[in-house]
Structure 1
Amino acid sequence: MTFDLTLLAPYLGDLAAGARLTALACAFALAGGLLLGVMAALMRTAASPVARRIADVYVDIFRNVPFIVQLFFLFYGLPEIGIEMSAFCTGVLALSLAGGAFTSDVIRSGILAVEPGVLEAAQVSGLSRLAIYRRIVLPIALRSSVRPLGAVFVNLILTSSILSAVTLNELTGSARIVAADTFQPFEVYALLLVLYAAMTWLVSLSAGVLHRRLNREHG
Protein backbone atom coordinates (compact mmCIF):
# COMPACT_ATOMS: atom_id res chain seq x y z
CA MET A 1 0.00 0.00 0.00
CA THR A 2 1.29 3.46 -0.93
CA PHE A 3 0.47 6.63 0.95
CA ASP A 4 -0.07 9.39 -1.61
CA LEU A 5 -1.83 12.59 -0.54
CA THR A 6 -1.36 14.09 -3.99
CA LEU A 7 -4.28 11.97 -5.14
CA LEU A 8 -6.53 14.16 -2.99
CA ALA A 9 -5.42 17.44 -4.58
CA PRO A 10 -8.45 17.67 -6.93
CA TYR A 11 -10.76 17.21 -3.93
CA LEU A 12 -9.24 19.72 -1.54
CA GLY A 13 -11.91 22.25 -2.52
CA ASP A 14 -14.65 19.81 -1.50
CA LEU A 15 -12.96 19.11 1.82
CA ALA A 16 -12.46 22.83 2.42
CA ALA A 17 -16.15 23.43 1.74
CA GLY A 18 -17.03 20.71 4.22
CA ALA A 19 -14.72 22.26 6.81
CA ARG A 20 -16.33 25.67 6.29
CA LEU A 21 -19.78 24.14 6.74
CA THR A 22 -18.62 22.45 9.95
CA ALA A 23 -17.19 25.73 11.25
CA LEU A 24 -20.37 27.65 10.35
CA ALA A 25 -22.69 25.10 11.96
CA CYS A 26 -20.55 24.99 15.11
CA ALA A 27 -20.38 28.79 15.33
CA PHE A 28 -24.17 29.11 15.17
CA ALA A 29 -24.54 26.20 17.59
CA LEU A 30 -22.08 27.82 20.00
CA ALA A 31 -24.17 31.00 20.05
CA GLY A 32 -27.41 29.07 20.41
CA GLY A 33 -26.00 26.72 23.03
CA LEU A 34 -24.58 29.61 25.04
CA LEU A 35 -27.94 31.40 25.03
CA LEU A 36 -29.83 28.25 26.02
CA GLY A 37 -27.19 27.38 28.60
CA VAL A 38 -27.38 30.78 30.29
CA MET A 39 -31.18 30.65 30.35
CA ALA A 40 -31.19 27.12 31.76
CA ALA A 41 -28.53 28.00 34.34
CA LEU A 42 -30.54 31.00 35.53
CA MET A 43 -33.65 28.83 35.79
CA ARG A 44 -31.75 26.12 37.69
CA THR A 45 -30.55 28.68 40.23
CA ALA A 46 -33.90 30.51 40.46
CA ALA A 47 -36.07 30.60 43.56
CA SER A 48 -39.03 29.11 41.66
CA PRO A 49 -39.17 25.29 41.98
CA VAL A 50 -41.18 25.15 38.74
CA ALA A 51 -38.44 26.97 36.81
CA ARG A 52 -35.79 24.72 38.33
CA ARG A 53 -37.74 21.59 37.43
CA ILE A 54 -38.32 22.66 33.82
CA ALA A 55 -34.62 23.43 33.37
CA ASP A 56 -33.58 20.16 35.02
CA VAL A 57 -35.85 18.16 32.68
CA TYR A 58 -34.35 19.93 29.64
CA VAL A 59 -30.80 19.27 30.80
CA ASP A 60 -31.50 15.63 31.69
CA ILE A 61 -33.08 14.89 28.31
CA PHE A 62 -30.45 16.46 26.08
CA ARG A 63 -27.50 15.40 28.21
CA ASN A 64 -28.54 11.77 28.64
CA VAL A 65 -30.10 10.86 25.27
CA PRO A 66 -27.67 9.89 22.46
CA PHE A 67 -27.10 12.82 20.12
CA ILE A 68 -27.92 10.81 17.02
CA VAL A 69 -31.35 9.98 18.48
CA GLN A 70 -31.98 13.70 19.08
CA LEU A 71 -30.82 14.45 15.53
CA PHE A 72 -33.03 11.80 13.94
CA PHE A 73 -36.03 12.95 15.98
CA LEU A 74 -35.61 16.53 14.74
CA PHE A 75 -34.89 15.58 11.13
CA TYR A 76 -37.20 12.61 10.59
CA GLY A 77 -39.72 12.92 13.43
CA LEU A 78 -40.76 16.58 13.37
CA PRO A 79 -41.83 16.52 9.67
CA GLU A 80 -44.49 14.00 10.68
CA ILE A 81 -46.21 16.79 12.65
CA GLY A 82 -45.65 19.41 9.99
CA ILE A 83 -42.36 20.92 11.16
CA GLU A 84 -39.74 20.73 8.42
CA MET A 85 -36.25 22.21 8.39
CA SER A 86 -33.22 21.94 6.15
CA ALA A 87 -30.43 19.58 7.14
CA PHE A 88 -28.25 22.55 8.09
CA CYS A 89 -30.90 24.16 10.31
CA THR A 90 -31.67 20.80 11.89
CA GLY A 91 -28.00 20.22 12.62
CA VAL A 92 -27.55 23.66 14.17
CA LEU A 93 -30.68 23.23 16.30
CA ALA A 94 -29.62 19.77 17.47
CA LEU A 95 -26.13 20.96 18.37
CA SER A 96 -27.54 24.04 20.12
CA LEU A 97 -29.95 22.01 22.25
CA ALA A 98 -27.32 19.48 23.22
CA GLY A 99 -24.66 22.14 23.74
CA GLY A 100 -27.03 24.23 25.85
CA ALA A 101 -27.58 21.32 28.24
CA PHE A 102 -23.84 20.96 28.88
CA THR A 103 -23.25 24.71 28.89
CA SER A 104 -25.88 25.15 31.60
CA ASP A 105 -23.81 22.99 33.96
CA VAL A 106 -20.77 25.17 33.35
CA ILE A 107 -22.62 28.48 33.79
CA ARG A 108 -24.52 27.18 36.81
CA SER A 109 -21.23 26.27 38.50
CA GLY A 110 -19.93 29.74 37.74
CA ILE A 111 -23.03 31.38 39.22
CA LEU A 112 -22.84 29.28 42.37
CA ALA A 113 -19.15 30.15 42.72
CA VAL A 114 -19.87 33.89 43.04
CA GLU A 115 -19.04 34.88 46.61
CA PRO A 116 -22.09 35.66 48.78
CA GLY A 117 -20.41 38.86 49.96
CA VAL A 118 -20.48 40.21 46.41
CA LEU A 119 -24.21 39.59 46.17
CA GLU A 120 -24.85 41.13 49.59
CA ALA A 121 -22.89 44.25 48.66
CA ALA A 122 -24.85 44.57 45.41
CA GLN A 123 -28.16 44.20 47.25
CA VAL A 124 -27.17 46.82 49.81
CA SER A 125 -26.31 49.23 46.99
CA GLY A 126 -29.94 49.06 45.86
CA LEU A 127 -29.51 47.16 42.61
CA SER A 128 -32.46 45.09 41.42
CA ARG A 129 -32.13 41.31 41.13
CA LEU A 130 -32.08 41.60 37.32
CA ALA A 131 -29.34 44.24 37.43
CA ILE A 132 -27.29 42.17 39.88
CA TYR A 133 -27.35 39.15 37.56
CA ARG A 134 -26.81 41.18 34.39
CA ARG A 135 -24.01 43.41 35.66
CA ILE A 136 -22.29 41.30 38.31
CA VAL A 137 -23.20 37.61 38.49
CA LEU A 138 -23.19 36.65 34.80
CA PRO A 139 -19.97 38.52 33.91
CA ILE A 140 -18.17 36.83 36.80
CA ALA A 141 -19.67 33.41 35.97
CA LEU A 142 -18.82 33.68 32.26
CA ARG A 143 -15.28 34.88 32.97
CA SER A 144 -14.60 31.91 35.21
CA SER A 145 -16.23 29.52 32.72
CA VAL A 146 -14.12 30.26 29.64
CA ARG A 147 -11.96 27.12 29.84
CA PRO A 148 -14.85 24.67 30.41
CA LEU A 149 -16.88 26.44 27.72
CA GLY A 150 -13.96 25.86 25.40
CA ALA A 151 -14.23 22.15 26.17
CA VAL A 152 -17.95 22.28 25.34
CA PHE A 153 -17.16 23.92 21.99
CA VAL A 154 -14.55 21.25 21.27
CA ASN A 155 -17.20 18.65 21.95
CA LEU A 156 -19.57 20.45 19.55
CA ILE A 157 -16.97 20.23 16.79
CA LEU A 158 -16.47 16.51 17.41
CA THR A 159 -20.21 15.86 17.63
CA SER A 160 -20.84 17.76 14.39
CA SER A 161 -19.31 14.81 12.52
CA ILE A 162 -22.60 12.97 13.11
CA LEU A 163 -24.52 15.55 11.06
CA SER A 164 -23.59 13.67 7.89
CA ALA A 165 -26.17 11.10 9.00
CA VAL A 166 -28.90 13.54 7.90
CA THR A 167 -27.36 14.28 4.47
CA LEU A 168 -25.40 17.35 5.57
CA ASN A 169 -22.06 17.25 3.79
CA GLU A 170 -19.96 18.85 6.49
CA LEU A 171 -16.34 17.81 6.88
CA THR A 172 -16.98 14.13 7.67
CA GLY A 173 -19.70 13.86 5.03
CA SER A 174 -17.44 15.43 2.41
CA ALA A 175 -14.60 13.10 3.39
CA ARG A 176 -16.87 10.10 2.99
CA ILE A 177 -17.78 11.18 -0.55
CA VAL A 178 -14.13 11.80 -1.45
CA ALA A 179 -13.12 8.40 -0.08
CA ALA A 180 -15.80 6.73 -2.22
CA ASP A 181 -14.71 8.61 -5.34
CA THR A 182 -10.95 8.08 -4.94
CA PHE A 183 -10.88 4.62 -3.36
CA GLN A 184 -8.24 6.05 -1.01
CA PRO A 185 -9.91 5.84 2.41
CA PHE A 186 -6.61 5.68 4.30
CA GLU A 187 -5.35 9.01 2.96
CA VAL A 188 -8.76 10.67 3.23
CA TYR A 189 -9.39 9.71 6.83
CA ALA A 190 -5.77 10.38 7.84
CA LEU A 191 -6.28 13.93 6.56
CA LEU A 192 -9.59 14.07 8.38
CA LEU A 193 -7.86 13.16 11.65
CA VAL A 194 -5.41 16.00 11.16
CA LEU A 195 -8.13 18.54 10.31
CA TYR A 196 -10.26 17.72 13.36
CA ALA A 197 -7.19 17.73 15.60
CA ALA A 198 -6.18 21.14 14.22
CA MET A 199 -9.65 22.64 14.75
CA THR A 200 -10.02 21.37 18.29
CA TRP A 201 -6.45 22.42 19.18
CA LEU A 202 -7.14 25.93 17.87
CA VAL A 203 -10.31 26.19 19.97
CA SER A 204 -8.54 24.93 23.10
CA LEU A 205 -5.67 27.34 22.54
CA SER A 206 -8.05 30.29 21.99
CA ALA A 207 -10.01 29.43 25.14
CA GLY A 208 -6.80 29.32 27.16
CA VAL A 209 -5.60 32.67 25.82
CA LEU A 210 -9.00 34.29 26.46
CA HIS A 211 -9.14 32.85 29.98
CA ARG A 212 -5.72 34.24 30.86
CA ARG A 213 -6.49 37.65 29.38
CA LEU A 214 -9.85 38.05 31.11
CA ASN A 215 -8.54 36.92 34.47
CA ARG A 216 -5.44 39.11 34.17
CA GLU A 217 -7.58 42.17 33.40
CA HIS A 218 -9.95 41.43 36.31
CA GLY A 219 -7.46 39.84 38.66
Structure 2
Amino acid sequence: MSFDLTVLTPHLEPLLAGALLTAEVCALGIAGAFGLATVLGLATAGRGWAQRLAWLYVDVFRNVPFVVQVFFLYYGLPEIGVYIDAFWTGVLALSLVGGAYGGDVVRSGILAIDPGVVEAARVGGLPRLDIIRRIVLPIALRAAIRPLGSVFVNLVLSSSILSMITLDEVTGTARGVAAETYRPFEVYAFLLVAYAVLTYAVSLGIAALHRHLNRHMVASPGVAGSEVAGKGA
Protein backbone atom coordinates (compact mmCIF):
# COMPACT_ATOMS: atom_id res chain seq x y z
CA MET A 1 0.00 0.00 0.00
CA SER A 2 1.43 3.39 -1.04
CA PHE A 3 1.69 6.36 1.28
CA ASP A 4 -1.01 8.83 0.27
CA LEU A 5 -1.78 11.82 2.46
CA THR A 6 -4.59 12.93 0.16
CA VAL A 7 -6.82 10.36 1.85
CA LEU A 8 -6.82 12.72 4.85
CA THR A 9 -8.12 15.71 2.89
CA PRO A 10 -11.83 15.06 3.61
CA HIS A 11 -10.97 14.58 7.30
CA LEU A 12 -8.59 17.50 7.84
CA GLU A 13 -11.23 19.67 9.47
CA PRO A 14 -12.07 17.26 12.34
CA LEU A 15 -8.39 16.33 12.75
CA LEU A 16 -7.33 19.97 13.05
CA ALA A 17 -10.27 20.66 15.35
CA GLY A 18 -9.11 17.78 17.54
CA ALA A 19 -5.57 19.16 17.57
CA LEU A 20 -6.89 22.59 18.56
CA LEU A 21 -8.95 21.04 21.35
CA THR A 22 -5.86 19.19 22.59
CA ALA A 23 -3.92 22.46 22.57
CA GLU A 24 -6.68 24.20 24.56
CA VAL A 25 -7.00 21.54 27.25
CA CYS A 26 -3.21 21.28 27.56
CA ALA A 27 -2.72 25.05 27.80
CA LEU A 28 -5.27 25.32 30.61
CA GLY A 29 -3.90 22.19 32.29
CA ILE A 30 -0.35 23.53 32.17
CA ALA A 31 -1.46 26.85 33.63
CA GLY A 32 -3.25 25.06 36.45
CA ALA A 33 -0.30 22.72 37.02
CA PHE A 34 2.11 25.66 37.22
CA GLY A 35 0.03 27.44 39.85
CA LEU A 36 -0.48 24.28 41.89
CA ALA A 37 3.21 23.32 41.60
CA THR A 38 4.19 26.72 42.99
CA VAL A 39 1.92 26.30 46.01
CA LEU A 40 3.02 22.71 46.61
CA GLY A 41 6.68 23.61 46.20
CA LEU A 42 6.41 26.30 48.86
CA ALA A 43 4.49 23.95 51.16
CA THR A 44 6.83 20.97 50.82
CA ALA A 45 9.86 23.21 51.36
CA GLY A 46 8.35 24.49 54.59
CA ARG A 47 7.37 22.88 57.85
CA GLY A 48 4.34 21.84 59.87
CA TRP A 49 0.95 20.50 58.85
CA ALA A 50 0.99 22.26 55.46
CA GLN A 51 4.16 20.39 54.54
CA ARG A 52 2.71 17.03 55.60
CA LEU A 53 -0.51 17.60 53.65
CA ALA A 54 1.42 18.72 50.57
CA TRP A 55 3.64 15.63 50.68
CA LEU A 56 0.58 13.41 51.05
CA TYR A 57 -0.95 15.01 47.96
CA VAL A 58 2.26 14.64 45.96
CA ASP A 59 2.70 11.00 46.96
CA VAL A 60 -0.89 10.09 46.10
CA PHE A 61 -0.96 11.71 42.67
CA ARG A 62 2.51 10.52 41.66
CA ASN A 63 1.75 6.92 42.60
CA VAL A 64 -1.66 6.47 40.97
CA PRO A 65 -1.84 5.89 37.18
CA PHE A 66 -3.07 8.94 35.30
CA VAL A 67 -5.79 6.96 33.57
CA VAL A 68 -7.20 5.93 36.97
CA GLN A 69 -7.26 9.56 38.07
CA VAL A 70 -9.11 10.55 34.90
CA PHE A 71 -11.67 7.75 35.30
CA PHE A 72 -12.23 8.64 38.94
CA LEU A 73 -12.91 12.29 38.09
CA TYR A 74 -15.16 11.54 35.12
CA TYR A 75 -16.94 8.35 36.13
CA GLY A 76 -16.50 8.22 39.89
CA LEU A 77 -17.41 11.74 41.05
CA PRO A 78 -20.91 11.65 39.48
CA GLU A 79 -21.73 8.86 41.96
CA ILE A 80 -21.51 11.47 44.74
CA GLY A 81 -23.30 14.16 42.77
CA VAL A 82 -20.28 15.96 41.26
CA TYR A 83 -20.56 16.28 37.47
CA ILE A 84 -17.74 17.69 35.34
CA ASP A 85 -17.82 17.57 31.54
CA ALA A 86 -15.05 15.83 29.61
CA PHE A 87 -13.17 19.02 28.69
CA TRP A 88 -12.92 20.36 32.25
CA THR A 89 -12.22 16.88 33.58
CA GLY A 90 -9.20 16.84 31.29
CA VAL A 91 -8.06 20.27 32.45
CA LEU A 92 -8.50 19.31 36.10
CA ALA A 93 -6.74 15.95 35.72
CA LEU A 94 -3.74 17.51 33.94
CA SER A 95 -3.55 20.29 36.53
CA LEU A 96 -3.65 17.89 39.48
CA VAL A 97 -1.03 15.45 38.22
CA GLY A 98 1.18 18.18 36.76
CA GLY A 99 1.07 20.06 40.04
CA ALA A 100 2.19 16.94 41.92
CA TYR A 101 5.24 16.40 39.72
CA GLY A 102 5.98 20.09 39.33
CA GLY A 103 5.75 20.75 43.07
CA ASP A 104 8.82 18.63 43.70
CA VAL A 105 10.71 20.55 41.00
CA VAL A 106 9.80 23.93 42.53
CA ARG A 107 10.76 22.60 45.96
CA SER A 108 14.22 21.70 44.65
CA GLY A 109 14.61 25.21 43.30
CA ILE A 110 13.63 26.70 46.64
CA LEU A 111 16.02 24.49 48.61
CA ALA A 112 18.86 25.49 46.27
CA ILE A 113 18.61 29.13 47.36
CA ASP A 114 21.42 30.39 49.57
CA PRO A 115 19.86 30.60 53.08
CA GLY A 116 21.84 33.76 53.71
CA VAL A 117 19.84 35.62 51.08
CA VAL A 118 16.54 34.90 52.82
CA GLU A 119 18.04 35.64 56.22
CA ALA A 120 19.35 38.98 54.99
CA ALA A 121 15.86 39.87 53.75
CA ARG A 122 14.37 38.98 57.13
CA VAL A 123 16.96 41.07 58.94
CA GLY A 124 16.19 43.90 56.56
CA GLY A 125 12.58 43.81 57.75
CA LEU A 126 10.87 42.45 54.63
CA PRO A 127 7.50 40.79 55.41
CA ARG A 128 7.27 37.03 54.82
CA LEU A 129 4.99 37.36 51.79
CA ASP A 130 7.30 39.90 50.18
CA ILE A 131 10.28 37.59 50.74
CA ILE A 132 8.42 34.79 48.99
CA ARG A 133 7.10 36.95 46.16
CA ARG A 134 10.18 39.08 45.48
CA ILE A 135 13.06 36.78 46.41
CA VAL A 136 12.23 33.11 46.89
CA LEU A 137 9.97 32.45 43.90
CA PRO A 138 11.94 34.46 41.28
CA ILE A 139 15.19 32.72 42.21
CA ALA A 140 13.61 29.27 42.53
CA LEU A 141 11.82 29.52 39.20
CA ARG A 142 15.04 30.41 37.42
CA ALA A 143 16.43 27.04 38.46
CA ALA A 144 13.17 25.13 38.09
CA ILE A 145 11.73 26.40 34.83
CA ARG A 146 13.57 23.99 32.50
CA PRO A 147 12.74 20.86 34.57
CA LEU A 148 9.17 22.14 34.74
CA GLY A 149 9.21 22.21 30.95
CA SER A 150 9.77 18.45 30.93
CA VAL A 151 6.76 18.04 33.24
CA PHE A 152 4.61 20.15 30.92
CA VAL A 153 5.72 18.24 27.82
CA ASN A 154 4.72 15.01 29.57
CA LEU A 155 1.31 16.54 30.29
CA VAL A 156 0.80 17.10 26.57
CA LEU A 157 1.71 13.49 25.88
CA SER A 158 -0.54 12.25 28.71
CA SER A 159 -3.48 14.18 27.29
CA SER A 160 -3.94 11.39 24.71
CA ILE A 161 -5.59 9.38 27.49
CA LEU A 162 -8.43 11.90 27.58
CA SER A 163 -9.88 10.31 24.43
CA MET A 164 -11.02 7.52 26.78
CA ILE A 165 -13.59 9.84 28.40
CA THR A 166 -15.23 10.81 25.08
CA LEU A 167 -13.24 14.02 24.64
CA ASP A 168 -12.82 14.58 20.90
CA GLU A 169 -9.15 15.55 21.17
CA VAL A 170 -6.70 14.68 18.43
CA THR A 171 -6.01 11.06 19.46
CA GLY A 172 -9.68 10.14 19.71
CA THR A 173 -10.43 11.90 16.43
CA ALA A 174 -7.53 10.15 14.70
CA ARG A 175 -8.73 6.77 15.94
CA GLY A 176 -12.15 7.44 14.43
CA VAL A 177 -10.70 8.60 11.11
CA ALA A 178 -8.44 5.53 10.93
CA ALA A 179 -11.42 3.24 11.48
CA GLU A 180 -13.39 5.07 8.79
CA THR A 181 -10.68 5.28 6.12
CA TYR A 182 -8.80 2.03 6.81
CA ARG A 183 -5.61 4.10 6.39
CA PRO A 184 -4.00 3.98 9.85
CA PHE A 185 -0.50 4.72 8.55
CA GLU A 186 -1.38 8.15 7.16
CA VAL A 187 -3.71 8.97 10.04
CA TYR A 188 -1.22 8.15 12.75
CA ALA A 189 1.55 9.88 10.82
CA PHE A 190 -0.58 13.00 11.14
CA LEU A 191 -0.95 12.25 14.85
CA LEU A 192 2.82 11.96 15.26
CA VAL A 193 3.31 15.34 13.64
CA ALA A 194 0.52 16.92 15.71
CA TYR A 195 2.07 15.88 19.02
CA ALA A 196 5.55 16.85 17.83
CA VAL A 197 4.27 20.34 17.01
CA LEU A 198 2.46 20.68 20.34
CA THR A 199 5.40 19.53 22.44
CA TYR A 200 7.82 21.67 20.45
CA ALA A 201 5.58 24.69 21.07
CA VAL A 202 5.73 24.00 24.81
CA SER A 203 9.52 23.67 24.64
CA LEU A 204 9.81 26.99 22.79
CA GLY A 205 7.58 28.66 25.37
CA ILE A 206 9.69 27.32 28.23
CA ALA A 207 12.90 28.45 26.51
CA ALA A 208 11.47 31.95 26.06
CA LEU A 209 10.36 32.08 29.69
CA HIS A 210 13.79 30.88 30.81
CA ARG A 211 15.45 33.69 28.86
CA HIS A 212 13.03 36.20 30.34
CA LEU A 213 13.63 35.08 33.93
CA ASN A 214 17.39 35.16 33.41
CA ARG A 215 17.58 38.34 31.35
CA HIS A 216 19.48 40.20 34.09
CA MET A 217 21.87 37.36 34.86
CA VAL A 218 25.56 37.76 34.14
CA ALA A 219 26.82 34.73 32.23
CA SER A 220 30.04 34.28 34.15
CA PRO A 221 31.42 31.15 35.83
CA GLY A 222 32.57 33.24 38.76
CA VAL A 223 29.13 34.51 39.76
CA ALA A 224 28.33 33.42 43.30
CA GLY A 225 24.94 32.22 44.42
CA SER A 226 24.46 35.23 46.64
CA GLU A 227 25.16 37.60 43.73
CA VAL A 228 22.59 35.79 41.60
CA ALA A 229 20.07 35.96 44.41
CA GLY A 230 20.74 39.65 44.91
CA LYS A 231 19.88 40.34 41.28
CA GLY A 232 16.67 38.34 41.65
CA ALA A 233 15.60 40.55 44.57
TM category (shorter chain) comes to over 0.9
Q: Is structure 2 residue 15 aligned with structure 1 residue 12?
A: no
Q: Is structure 2 residue 106 aligned with structure 1 residue 117?
A: no
Q: Is structure 2 residue 172 aligned with structure 1 residue 190?
A: no
Q: Which moved more, 1:19-28 or 1:144-153?
A: 144-153
Q: Distance in 2 between matches of 1:31 and 1:197?
A: 20
Which residue is equivalent to 1:179? 178
Which residue is equivalent to 1:215? 214
Q: Could you list the per-position Cα deviations for residues 143-168 of structure 1 after superposition, in whole angstroms to 9, with x for gaps in the alignment?
A: 22221111111001000000000000
Instruction: Give how far 1:213 is off.
Output: 4.0
Q: Distance in 2 between matches of 1:42 and 1:147?
A: 18
- Aligned amino acid, residue 132 of structure 1: I
Q: Is structure 2 residue 36 aligned with structure 1 residue 36?
A: yes
- Aligned amino acid, residue 134 of structure 1: R
5+ unaligned residues in a row in structure 1: which ranges? Answer: none
The alignment-based identity, stated in percent, is 62
Q: Is structure 2 residue 141 aligned with structure 1 residue 137?
A: no
Q: Distance in 1 between matches of 2:205 and 2:114?
A: 27
Matched position secondary structure for 1:145: helix
Q: Is structure 2 residue 101 aligned with structure 1 residue 102?
A: yes
Matched position secondary structure for 1:2: coil
Instruction: Give how far 1:39 is off.
Output: 1.2
Q: Distance in 2 between matches of 1:217 and 1:9?
A: 48
Instruction: Give how far 1:41 is off.
Output: 1.2
Instruction: Give how far 1:22 is off.
Output: 0.6
Instruction: Give how far 1:128 is off.
Output: 1.4
RMSD, aligned α-carbons = 1.2
Instruction: Give how far 1:214 is off.
Output: 2.7
Which residue is equivalent to 1:150? 149
Q: Could you list the per-position Cα deviations for residues 15-38 of structure 1 after superposition, in whole angstroms to 9, with x for gaps in the alignment?
A: 111111111101111111111111
Which residue is equivalent to 1:27? 27
TM-score w.r.t. structure 1 length?
A: 0.95
Q: Distance in 2 between matches of 1:31 and 1:158?
A: 16
> What is the number of equivalent residue pairs in this alignment?
218
Which residue is equivalent to 2:223? none
Instruction: Give how far 1:205 is off.
Output: 3.0
TM-score w.r.t. structure 2 length?
A: 0.90
Instruction: Give how far 1:209 is off.
Output: 3.6
- Aligned amino acid, residue 187 of structure 2: V
Instruction: Give how far 1:201 is off.
Output: 2.1
Instruction: Give how far 1:208 is off.
Output: 2.5
Matched position secondary structure for 1:83: coil
How do residues 46-57 of structure 1 correspond to structure 2 at under 5 angstroms?
46-48=46-48, 50-57=49-56
Q: Distance in 2 between matches of 1:173 and 1:207?
A: 27
Q: Distance in 1 between matches of 2:47 and 2:55?
A: 14
Contact kept? 2:138, 2:213, Cα under 8 Å: no
Instruction: Give how far 1:78 is off.
Output: 0.4
